[in-house]
Structure 1
Amino acid sequence: MRLRLAFTLLLACLAGGSSVAQTWQAYPAYRDVRAVAASGDAIWAATPAGIFAVSTADGAFERYTTVDGITGGQVRALAVDENGRVWAGYADGTLDRIDPASGEVRTFFDIQRADQYTSRGVNRIRPRGQTLLIGTDFGLVIWDLARDEVRQTASRLGSLDAATPVNDVIVAPAANASGDAYWLATDEGIVSAPLATSNLQIPSAWTIEDGFRNEAYSLVAYDGTVWAGGRPGGPFGDLYRRAASGEWQRQLFVDQTLSDLVVVDGTLAVLDQGSSRTFLVRPGAPLRTFNASPEAIRHQSLALGPDGRLWVGDAGVGLFQYPPLPSSDGTLVVSPDPRLPSGPFTNSIVSVDVGRNGRIWTASGTAAVGVSGAAAVNWFEDGMWTTLRTDETALPSTSFKRIVTRSEGGALAGTDGLGLAVISEDGDVTVFDRSNSTLLGATGAQNFLVISDMIREGDRWWIVNKSSPLPLHSFPGTADATRADWNGLPPPPGGPSGIGADAIELDNFGQKWLAMGPQGLMVWDTGSDPLSPADDRGRVFTTGFNGQGLPNGNVTSLVRDLEGRIWIGTRRGLAVIFSPGSAFGADNALAEPVWPTTGDGEGLDYLLRDADIKDLALDPAGRIWVSTTTGAFLLTPEGDGIQLRLGADGTPLPTDDIIDIEVDASTGLVYIVTANGLYSYKGDATGPDLDSEALRLSPNPYRPSEHARVTIAGINAPTSRVRVLTLDGRVVYESDSVFGGSFQWDGRDARTGDLVPSGVYIVAASGVNGEGTLYGKVAVLR
């Protein structure tokens, strides 16, 4: 089976309207398996972040994510048709079809677009010959596999309410007639109609089971009759068998939601959804039970594999296989052996950072696994994930707030209540809390130590201890630090008495800028002796208007650009401080936040004025990335416009809500955290190419009518002077401060603002610190 890790898309981006080939990669966690299905040689499993298969022969994995074209998100149903193609159904009615033979993914919107129905989710898919029987939130849909379209819809099922949700569908012998019938499990009971019915939309075609007029979840034909999981007469969820008289006879007396019924070796396996049990029923025999507690927390789907074994999709451990059916009565406790592709612990990632040699570090919130849940720190290197769980290591047993890498290797992880963890490159963990540091609990909760951010300054680290009497601490950042190596500072004069900071940034003068959420923004000058509070001072910035002051009082994020400016993200808009060093000077108004603008004249507007900003990051070219609830935005080099937007429309991102963003300064890869997991996007900015001997320009030739900009790569200095010249030496563009290993030119003459004429142009890049000059040529065709 093929290993599918990445896929290159032709992406329509908002980069001046151009289409640019960009590379994406997804890094999904696979522990939350919502649906499972079997093919001839594999078990398929669907999670909110991706679909994968495991070969029952050799254990090899095949995986598909939104990068490969699947929809992703709230997947409810999974099935494999007789042609070996895999179908996934989603909560909004979308259908995905995967052809494992070719790797092709196709999406169908026929059900999703049936907007005459309020809810259109897909609840179950049952392949039958050249059709799919699909239970939806509005009824039964019969899908024609040969024509790839809806053949028939039944939304009026007898006297049931119109558009009653169908939870399951099977074909089984008719109750009171010869031949087979469609049997439907609905929210209002069980109904059936002869298989030969030409028009299933006619209400009279359907017969309601009088003995089952309440919620039904699942159906199966077994032991000569129909069995159902549901609540036919009230509150008791159970397994029911239809007797020849039409009576539905209760079987287990467990009062549970029994969502999947599978026949294996003459035994009926009954999945107890929401628990870790599967009941094994055989008429006339004692009840047997598989129990995968405490590791498994919530079974969600059950399938019979090509190996004749039962496979379970669980919300906590993912996909695992039950042992052969037990010969003895009673309960068999099972220790799950998860069969999962390598991935992070959970998709609920709260923070990402890039460490030494490009190692990706993530920190997560608490996931529902085991007895009481767990959080984790993960790293990705050489194609594999390593996980440190809070319930299996020395990591504090709580969720995390921030992960920040160290240049010498390893990382610092700030927790949501139990202090700071120092993690070595090899995964050794040392925890600092009240017992071995100056860290203190929040006011009124002395043992609740929230560490919201960390930043390095020289040979010391500054630690933000949110809402503590000592909100800022410094220590060497090493595991062997003692209490004597720690130093805590009280709030400075000029600052609030309680500082609930979520983020910290340093300016070029050593001042500490704190994003304090609803408390606004504060700059903290730690004075000539940073470890002593004696000469500390603070200044708080508040909401302004007409482009001055903070655009909103709730400050979420900060970043310093390569020119020393401090950029500020708020819950409604962006601001920048051009002269942070003036914060305590004679003309301290120069340090007031300013709202960046875009356009001019009557078209003048404030940049991202209404954006709910969650994070800011800097790329190697000195440009700002802004993560918001409406996508990730890359600002122009001048900071006066949007160069690129990445969101759910036109990219593999599953949502516009971007939680965290980080850029690898050497490669330009942009790491984007969403509620459905981590993604990376190959940006056009890179770190300096120290081995470069010539500039590389693309596209070449450059056609302004087809491409917004030409990219100049291969620059070998951190900061360069770049010139674009005609063949006779006339300069048409010049910049004295190009950062990183690449640069983009919009094809315009800087003096006139007009596009340059067709011709060959020379590009020269000279390092400002004497690194030498590199050259390249580009042909402009208009």
Structure 2
Amino acid sequence: MKKAFITLLAAFCSVSALAQNLAIGNWQVHLPYNNAISVAKANDLVYCASNQGLFTYNTVDNSIQRLSKATGLSEVTISTIEYNAIEDALLVAYTNANIDLVFGNEIVNLSDIKRKSITGSKTIHRVTMKDELAYLSCGFGIVVINMDKREVKDTYIIGPGGSNINVYDVSFDQNYIYAATELALYRADINSASLNDFQVWEQIRTAAPGLDYNLLEFYNGKLIVNYTDGEFINDFTNDSLFIYNPVTEQIDSLLTNSFFANKTIEERNGNLIVINYFSVSTYNSSFDRINVIGSTGEYAPARPEDAFVDENNVTWIADDNKGLVKFVDANEFEFIVPNGPTAVNANNAAYANGKIYVTHGPTGFNNAFIPPAISSYENGSWTTNNSDNITYPPNVTENIWDFRDVAVDPTNTNKVFVGTLGRGVLEMINENVLVQHDDTNSTLSSCTVCGPIPSDLIYSSFVEFDNSGNLWVANGQSNSAISVRKPDNIWQGYAFPSLVGGNVLGEIVIDDFGQKWVLIPSTGFLVFNDNGTLDDTSDDEAKKLTTAPGNGGLPTASVNAIVVDNEGEVWIGTNEGVAVFFSPGSIFGGSNFDAQKIIIELDGVNQFLLENEIVTTIAVDGANQKWFGTASAGVFLTNADGTEQLQNFNTSNSPILSDNIIDIEINDKNGEVFFITDKGIISYRGTATEGNADFSNVTVFPNPATPDYTGLIAINGLVENVDVKITDISGALVFETTAEGGQATWNAKDYNGDRVHTGVYLVFMTDRDGEKTHVAKIVVIH
């Protein structure tokens, strides 16, 4: 049996190399492609769309190329795609009704439907091509796009009295255009000059009215129509395919009746393709089923959403679980999936030694019972672990769900500890769960305020290591608010009944004084100091910080994020912007320690930093710059003290996938910033990295800088904040700067703003004390 699992790393190695050396200022999407929804064949290319992404597979050289916002697409979440052979163009319809037309390397956006104020749904259900026209079946009617002129040609509102009506599909014969709608089957004379007049559309009376007619296709002189009784939803419903004869205007026969929802019916290369929840069936012109592709061998369970049979009788399937499936026969098939994380629902990330870990699950504090999943990214490639391959020790018999946070073991970066909503803390290496830490083998405590919910739920949702290798766990809704696992696997628990009680607990961080800060949603923070004696509780100190002056002075009780910066200051994100604890060491002393807002000048007006934004997450880069994620305005980058806004990335001005930012994590080695959004993960190569102890790992990228490269040249691996001078080979100074953390950048231009001549340039680096120096070379080709 010939089977192959083609990933982006194997099939298109240059993309992986690009991901490892992402140029400064460039973007890289990180999306899952296994949940495919639509497929289209265009000569040697197969286009495959998932809910979040789009890629092409070249049938000649087996290469894969991703299309995304980073490469020019307008949106993220896709509804359907369809190829127009006459115009050699792909139409991409998005869930928000936006449309892209892809002509090779050119992308044309048509936002008419998205922008137009329409009563009811704008959903684009399906796209049907006829000549140079694309007919869009929408939630309000039919929209016709002229692919040649690249514009909306017309709109047909065909409901009773000219009302909006949900149109699910469109098809044609020689005389009529047919529409499957939520009320009835409609048809109109295809040659009518007034198709935008509802009065030219008539109901097909022989079809039972009042049902959802959601699929139709004209095939071999007959109209194949699917209708559902609507008794069930999603993939399980009583669907029936019947054959309508346009000549006799009668229903000839029932083709098939199924308990499972039919997804697609289309004519492909002389055959009729019918797709339901479990299978792809092919019918000949006599309406005899001649082939069925269903769950077989490793293609199980089959979850086809769309399919195309090409001229070589190869079936290309968009599968909701396997991605793009190339099916020759039961003994020869391939799964083609670009490399990416396991799912789109990422909620938290952690970084260590060049590796990013991401958990997938709910973003709040309530159970969603999402199957376990964790992904890791290293050297330009993702590794995914989920319910399909995660293994458990014999003593773990309970169902595991809702991964919520992850911390990387500082002594072994392949080992992680995963906090969960209800199932304790999982100690994992790769896909293997080594230990489930719960109330049977640790001081973690079960829920005491869960009412009728089983009392064995252990909400150890958030985890963090300190500099001594102790793992700290926020154990909310229990009698033990904080627990710590020492490196020898001995646990210690701490209860604060008067401060926390049965509160839900959020993120936990550890400041430069060893104090543990635990977020209490809608309240503030618990700050705990064990004074360096984990086993001696007599010297422990704890305080709950609130909005009260002298007791935290938080700008609001709605706190969402907390981070310790490179200077030891504690920054918090709230529903009313940002505040900073400049003296966290004074919390248990006598002096004032209240949080302070930052004043920033924007457009000549002084205001508090992000005071009108819900700040959901904060990250600090190697230059101590602050990255703020918000709930609706994207990402903001400021200088170290927050008084100068350097960047604002949002969906209107950048490829970022969403303005709702859930988490931000930074690769300190190369400055790549990962934005976890509600629509997936995207990264951006920033200018700042963590400083190094010496110059032993200095790299320059790209080197040489070729004429077609117009971005910044990165000089990486520097001692923190060193002075950098660049000269030509004769020693003439052409540029100087100061490193941002461990990285300096150069645009290959001199002081006059002109690109330097072709040649070799020397990079001189000196630390502030003048004790450490280094020289590197850059080749610039003009």
TM-score computed with the length of structure 2 as normaliser: 0.79
Per the alignment, residue 431 of structure 1 pairs with 436
How far did 1:565 drift? Answer: 0.8
Note the 1:521-600 alignment, pairs <5 A: 521-544=525-548, 549-587=553-591, 589=592, 591-599=593-601
Does the 8 Å CA contact 1:49/1:72 hold for their aligned counterparts? no
Distance 1:663 1:314 in 2: 33
Q: Distance in 2 between matches of 1:259 and 1:757?
A: 62
Give the corresponding residue for 1:352.
349
Q: 2:427 aligns with which of 422, 427, 433?
A: 422
- Give the AA of the match of 1:364: H
The 8 Å contact of residues 504 and 514 in structure 1, kept in 2 or not, is answered as: yes
For 1:96, the equivalent position in structure 2 comes to 100
User: What is the match of residue 191 of structure 1?
Assistant: 186
Displacement of 1:618 in angstroms is 0.8
Deviation at 1:572, TM superposition (A): 2.9
Amino acid at match of 2:422: G
Name the residue aligned to 1:86: 90
Taking the TM superposition and a 5 Å limit, the aligned residue runs for 1:220-239 are 220-231=217-228, 237-239=239-241
Rounded Cα–Cα distance in structure 2 between residues aligned with 1:297 and 1:2: 26
**Partner residue, 2:71:** 68
Going from structure 1 to structure 2, the CA distance change for 1:393 and 1:252 (only over 3 Å counts) comes to same
Shift of 1:517: 1.3
In the alignment, which residue of structure 2 is the partner of 1:467?
A: 477
**Aligned partners of 2:328, 2:227: CA distance in 1, in Å?**
27
Q: Does 1:208 align with 2:212?
A: no
Contact 1:219 1:227 in 2 (8 A): yes
Q: What does residue 625 of structure 1 align with?
A: 627
CA distance in 2, matches of 1:508, 1:764: 34
Q: Could you tell me how far apart the structure 2 residues matched to 1:311 and 1:722 are?
A: 54
**Do the aligned residues in 1 keep the contact of 2:181 with 2:213 (CA within 8 Å)?**
yes
The answer for the alignment partner of 2:305 in structure 1 is 300
C-alpha distance in 2 between matches for 1:644 and 1:582: 33
Matches within 5 A, 1:22-171: 22-56=25-59, 59-82=62-85, 83-99=87-103, 102-115=104-117, 119-156=121-158, 159=160, 161-171=162-172
Is the Cα contact below 8 Å between 2:52 and 2:78 reproduced in 1? no
The unaligned stretches of length 5 or more in structure 2 are 1-10, 233-237, 364-368, 393-398, 701-711, 726-735, 754-762, 777-782
| 1:180-232 Cα deviation digits (max 9, x unpaired) | 32222222222222332233213343232113334221111234310111248
What is the CA-CA distance between 1:438 and the residue it aligns to? 2.6
* Aligned-partner SS, 2:249: coil
Give the whole-Å Cα distance in 1 for the aligned partners of 2:567 and 2:499.
Answer: 27
Change (3 A) 1:425 1:355: farther
Structure 1, 24-33 or 604-613: larger mean CA deviation: 604-613
Aligned mates of 1:257, 1:600 — CA distance in 2: 55
Pairwise CA distance, 1:415: 1.9
Task: Write out per-residue CA displacement over residues 575-634 of structure 1, whole angstroms, 9 at most, x where no aligned residue.
Answer: 1111111111122x2x21122222499943221123222211110001121111121111
Q: How many residues in Structure 1 have an aligned counterpart in Structure 2? A: 700
Counterpart of 2:670 in structure 1 is 667
Question: Residues 36 and 46 of structure 1 are in contact (CA less than 8 Å); yes or no, is this contact kept in structure 2?
Answer: yes
Assess if the C-alpha contact under 8 Å between 1:607 and 1:641 holds in 2.
Answer: no
Report the equivalent of 1:447. 456
Match of 1:361 in 2: 357
Residue 506 of structure 1 and its aligned partner are, at CA, apart by 1.5
Q: Could you tell me how far 1:55 is from its partner in structure 2?
A: 3.8
SS of aligned partner of 2:538 = helix
2:321 counterpart residue number: 316
Counterpart-to-counterpart distance in 2, 1:295 and 1:402: 31
Aligned in 2, Cα 1:4/1:72: closer, same or farther, shift over 3 Å? Answer: farther
Of the structure 1 ranges 111-120 and 660-669, higher mean CA displacement relative to structure 2 is found in 111-120
Q: Distance in 2 between matches of 1:281 and 1:224?
A: 14
CA distance in 1, matches of 2:260, 2:250: 20
Determine the structure 1 residue equivalent to 2:216: 219
CA distance in 2, matches of 1:523, 1:548: 10
Q: Any idea what the Cα deviations from partners look like across 1:391-441, whole Å, max 9, x if unmatched? A: 422267212111222343122222222222233368674432333333222
1:383 corresponds in structure 2 to 380
Distance 2:362 2:303 in 1: 16
1:498, 1:41 → 2: CA distance? Answer: 61
Tell me, in whole angstroms, the C-alpha distance in 1 between the residues paired with 2:724 and 2:254.
80
What code does the residue aligned with 1:31 have?
N
Instruction: Name the counterpart of 2:653.
Output: 650
For residues 106 and 56 of structure 1, the distance between their equivalents in structure 2, rounded to whole angstroms, comes to: 25
Contact 1:711 1:742 in 2 (8 A): no
Runs of at least 5 residues in structure 1 that lack an aligned partner in the other structure: 9-19, 173-178, 326-333, 697-709, 724-732, 746-755, 777-782
Farther off after superposition, 276-285 or 571-580: 276-285
Out of 559-568 and 442-451, give the one that drifted further: 442-451
Identity of aligned pairs, percent? 22
CA distance 1:734–1:497, shift in 2 (3 Å)? farther
Quote the Cα distance in structure 1 between the aligned partners of 2:135 and 2:17.
Answer: 32
Check conservation: 2:56, 2:66, Cα contact below 8 A: yes
Contact 1:716 1:741 in 2 (8 A): yes
State how 1:403-414 maps to structure 2 within 5 Å. 403-407=406-410, 408-410=412-414, 411-414=416-419
* Aligned-partner SS, 1:111: helix
Residue equivalent to 1:779: none
Q: Indicate how the Cα distance of structure 1 residues 695 and 669 shifts in structure 2: closer, same or farther if over 3 A, else same.
A: closer
- Residues 279-307 of structure 1: CA distance to partner in whole angstroms, max 9, x if unpaired? 55566758986544995485433333444
Deviation at 1:361?
Answer: 1.6
Q: 2:499 aligns with which of 487, 495, 502?
A: 495
User: Tell me, what secondary structure is at the counterpart of 2:654?
Assistant: coil
**Distance change >3 Å, CA 344–CA 232, structure 1 → 2:** closer
What is the match of residue 726 of structure 1?
A: none
Once the two structures are overlaid, the 10-residue window that deviates more, 677-686 or 50-59, is: 50-59
- Contact in 2 for aligned 1:453/1:504 (Cα 8 Å): yes
Q: Choose 454-463 or 615-624, whichever is displaced more.
A: 454-463
Q: 1:699-710 counterparts in 2 under 5 A? A: none
Paired position in structure 1 for 2:606: 604
- Structure 2 distance, partners of 1:693, 1:528, is 35
SS of corresponding position for 1:67: helix
Q: 1:48 to 1:7 in 2, by over 3 A?
A: farther
Which residue is 2:741 aligned to?
740
Report SS of the residue matched to 2:652: coil
Inter-CA distance 291–534: structure 2 relative to 1 (3 Å threshold) = farther
Shift of 1:662: 0.9
Deviates more, 1:237-246 or 1:509-518: 237-246
Q: Is the 8 A contact 2:171 2:177 kept in 1?
A: yes
Quote the offset at 1:765 in angstroms: 8.2
CA contact (8 A) 1:443 1:469 kept: yes
Structure-1-length-normalised TM-score: 0.79
1:458-507 CA-to-partner distances (Å, cap 9, x unmatched) read 23222222333222222245xxx54xx22222228x63233532111222
Question: Residue 585 of structure 2: SS of its match in structure 1?
Answer: helix
